[in-house]
Amino acid sequence: MLLNDLSATQAGDKIRKGEITSEKLVQACIERIDQIDGEIEAWAYFNADYALEQARKLDLIRQAGEPIGPLHGIPIGVKDIIDTAHVPTELGTPIHSGRVPFKDAWVVSRLRQAGAVIMGKTVTTELATYSPGKTKNPHDPNRTPGGSSSGSAAAVASNMVPIALGSQTNGSIIRPAAFCGVFGFKPSFGMIPRTGVLRQSTPLDQLGVFARSTDDVAMLTQVLAGYDEVDSATTFLRATPQLLSIAIEDPPLPPKIGFVKTPIWDRADKICKDAHEELCETLGENVEEIVLSPSFGHVLDHHKIIMESDLAYSFAHDYETTKEMLSDSLRSQIERGMGYSAVAYHRALQQQAIMDDILAELFQEYDALITPSAIGEAPIGQDNTGDPSFCTIWTFCGVPTLNIPVFLGENGMPIGTQMVGAKNDDARLLRTANWLLRKLNE
């Protein structure tokens, strides 16, 4: 196995034992990037010297016997809407070309404290919305990798880095994870602070991670979880969740899982529908189909009102000063956002609490829900990032969701299933996901 093929947990264990150095691991990732990124184009900014300099310093720390963090020496990609001090963060648009922050985002500071090596900035769609960036799907360069966290998903899927950061305001982690065939995790709303990250919509923006194993998902999320008084979503203190230790445990009882088609089941293609029905057959008595309250049929409309209104507010300066440099898609969203009334916006916001109550009651009976991550395989072409609608309900409600790469479509492309958990019970969701993976391998 090449070093760049190691998971983050595997590599970290070898670094701690002195079997490999961070420099050698980072060099292997650099060689992989040099080999394949010309076709995939997952990186918005990459500087091999910058990465190696960090790795060498971290190796000296370990050699000196100083304390090391849980991500010591591990390479990571950071989505190009997350500020990195003295490293370009251009937000996926020429409007902000040359933008170099002077301060790290909260999560980047956390990564550095944990010993991670910031490899560079991964490609995002335009201002993390729907207009695609340059990244191609690593399984088929004629297909989209999804969005908006396209570069992060592609970089992890093609073994350029073991882990990466992304964000989701609609389907920007789960969808690209599904299309690229990796684990993508959007934790509970408010678990990871967003200070220093491009703001689209304060009630909807959420940070998350990409990895090739559930252990890596748990370890990285545990590092990033925390309290930040600057972020209104994390204004209450709580202990850091012990995600990794709980995720690897066996459940005390066999989990009870609900299969949810959602009100948009007809959007899924036949292969995706058949795959999920076969999954339910495999899980047998551990799964049962459930129907969501009719209230959930309106969530896509509520989400659109909130998101587009907030886009109009957050991107007002770019619209007013450089409107001609925005895509038609984003201009249309902003203009629709300007047209919603304050009453409509606040009514939509009120629905979040209502949906929360319904889901909280549902998760008293079920350990997790499963539903498609996307409507099927990644679409052909680079003119769009695919339909995010299977993610919308769960983003709106702020519950944790995980893409599990378990299927292949008729063209050999990945198709994911989305596992959904109770809000602020992320560890149980990851434990249930591990149970499901073991069940499928029996």
Catalytic residue list contains 213: no
Q: How confident is the model at residue 1, as a pLDDT?
A: 86
Judge whether 409 and 376 are in contact, CB under 8 Å.
Answer: yes
Catalytic one among 79, 261, 304, 423? 79
> CA–CA separation, 107 vs 165, rounded Å?
9
pLDDT by residue (tens digit) across 379-437?
999 999 999 999 999 999 999 999 999 999 999 999 999 999 999 999 999 999 999 99
pLDDT by residue (tens digit) across 6-22?
999 999 999 999 999 99
What is the DSSP code string of 7-63? -HHHHHHHHHHTSS-HHHHHHHHHHHHHHHHHHH--EEEE-HHHHHHHHHHHHHHHH
Region 235-262 average pLDDT: 92
What percent of the chain is predicted at pLDDT more than 90?
98
Q: What is the pTM of this model?
A: 0.98
pLDDT by residue (tens digit) across 355-374?
999 999 999 999 999 999 99
- Number of structural domains (the chain) is 1
Catalytic one among 7, 22, 150, 172? 172
Residue-number span of the structural domain to which 339 is assigned: 1-442
pLDDT at 175 exceeding the cut of 90: yes
pLDDT by residue (tens digit) across 286-295?
999 999 999 9
Catalytic one among 7, 22, 148, 213? 148
Q: For the chain, how long is the longest CA-to-CA vector?
A: 61
Helix axes 342-362, 389-397, angle to 10 degrees: 90
Average pLDDT, the chain: 97
Catalytic residue list contains 79: yes
| 8 backbone dihedrals φ, ψ, rounded to 5° | -65, -40
Q: How confident is the model at residue 237, as a pLDDT?
A: 82
> CA–CA separation, 209 vs 302, rounded Å?
26
SS3 368: strand
SS3 242: coil
Catalytic residue list contains 131: no
Confidence of residue 239 (pLDDT cuts 50, 70, 90): confident
CATH code assigned at 74: 3.90.1300.10
Q: How confident is the model at residue 125, as a pLDDT?
A: 98
Q: Which CA distances in Å does 363 have to 102, 258, 420?
A: 43, 9, 10
pLDDT at 33 exceeding the cut of 90: yes
Region 304-313 average pLDDT: 98
Confidence of residue 264 (pLDDT cuts 50, 70, 90): very high
What percent of the chain is predicted at pLDDT more than 70?
100
Containing 370, the helix (H) or strand (E) segment is strand 368-372
Containing 293, the helix (H) or strand (E) segment is none
What is the DSSP code string of 306-333? HHHHHHHHHTHHHHHHHGGGS-HHHHHH
* Length of the chain counted residue by residue: 442
Confidence of residue 241 (pLDDT cuts 50, 70, 90): confident
